[in-house]
Structure 1
Amino acid sequence: MRDRITLTGLRVFGRHGVFDHEKRDGQEFVVDITAWLDLTRAAASDELTETLHYGELAQLAADIVGGEPYDLIEAVAGRIADEVMADERLSAVEVTVHKPTAPIPLTFADVAVTVGRQR
Structure 2
Amino acid sequence: MSDRITLTGLRVRGYHGVFDHEKRDGQDFLVDVSAWLDLTAAAASDDLRQTLHYGELAERVAAIVSGESRDLIETVAGDIADEVLTDERVREVEVTVHKPSAPIPLSFEDVAVTVHRARP
User: Which residue identity is paired with 2:28?
Assistant: E
3-state SS of paired residue (1:38)? coil
3-state SS of paired residue (2:10)? strand
User: Which residue identity is paired with 1:25?
Assistant: D
User: Which residue identity is paired with 1:58?
Assistant: A
**Partner Cα separation in structure 2 for residue 43 and residue 115 of structure 1:** 28
**Partner Cα separation in structure 2 for residue 23 and residue 105 of structure 1:** 18
**Partner Cα separation in structure 1 for residue 91 and residue 64 of structure 2:** 21
Q: Which residue number corresponds to residue 43 of structure 2?
A: 43
Q: What is the TM-score with the length of structure 1 in the denominator?
A: 0.99
Q: Which residue number corresponds to residue 7 of structure 1?
A: 7
Q: Does 1:69 align with 2:77?
A: no
**Partner Cα separation in structure 2 for residue 90 and residue 17 of structure 1:** 29
Q: Which residue number corresponds to residue 26 of structure 1?
A: 26
User: Which residue identity is paired with 1:47?
Assistant: D
**Partner Cα separation in structure 2 for residue 14 and residue 102 of structure 1:** 12
CA shift digits 1:57-114 (9 cap, x unpaired): 0000000000000000000000000010011101100000000000000000000000
Q: Which residue number corresponds to residue 57 of structure 1?
A: 57
Measured after TM superposition, the shift of residue 34 of structure 1 is 0.1
Q: What is the TM-score with the length of structure 2 in the denominator?
A: 0.99
**Partner Cα separation in structure 2 for residue 22 and residue 15 of structure 1:** 6
Q: Which residue number corresponds to residue 78 of structure 2?
A: 78
Gaps of 5+ in 2: none
3-state SS of paired residue (2:101)? coil
Measured after TM superposition, the shift of residue 13 of structure 1 is 0.3
3-state SS of paired residue (2:114)? strand
3-state SS of paired residue (2:9)? strand
Gaps of 5+ in 1: none
Q: Which residue number corresponds to residue 107 of structure 1?
A: 107
User: Which residue identity is paired with 1:92?
Assistant: E
**Partner Cα separation in structure 1 for residue 90 and residue 7 of structure 2:** 15
